Every structure is written in C-alpha cells, then in structure tokens.
Amino acid sequence: MRSLKKQTPNLLTLSRLLMAPVIFWLVIRGNNYQAILFILLGATSDILDEVLARKFDACSSFGKAE
C-alpha cells in the first residue's frame, strides 16, 4: 500500500498525458464544452498531484524545485 501512495502523483500525471489526445479530438470534432470539462479535470488533477506528492513525500529528482 505504501508504494501505491508514492505512485499516485505519477498516475495522475499519466492520466493527464492520456487526456491530451482526447481533448485534441474533442476540439477537432467541435465538442468544445466537453473539451473544457477535460481541461478543468486536468487542471484539478494537477493541483491534486502536487498536494499528494508533498503529503506522501513522493518527489522524484526530476520533480524537485531547484
């Protein structure tokens, strides 16, 4: 369970990467309202990603601020 907590921020980042093509496809198809919802979901997951990474001390060397 402990390793899952450490990986949760990475899984959120992966979900945002997977959302990008979906958002692009929605915009191309003219479904702008759905695209906006996905963008807002991605922004929310970005904030949650940061909060969880700090809470679980799950920062990688790549994610650390210099």
Please tell me the distance from the alpha carbon of residue 35 to that of residue 2, in angstroms, as a whole number.
34
pLDDT of 51 over the 70 cut: yes
Q: Is a pLDDT exceeding 60 seen at residue 62?
A: no
Mean pLDDT of the 35-44 span: 96
Instruction: Output the DSSP codes for 1-66.
Output: -HHHHHHHHHHHHHHHHHHHHHHHHHHHHT-HHHHHHHHHHHHHHHHHHHHHHHHTT---TTT---
Q: Is the pLDDT of residue 23 over 90?
A: yes
Which of 7-11, 26-30, 47-51, 61-65 has the least mean pLDDT?
Answer: 61-65
pLDDT at position 46 over 60: yes
Report how far residue 43's alpha carbon sits from residue 9's, in angstroms, rounded to the nearest whole number: 13
Please give the structure tokens belonging to residue 48. Answer: 């949650």
pLDDT in tens, 5-15: 777 888 888 89
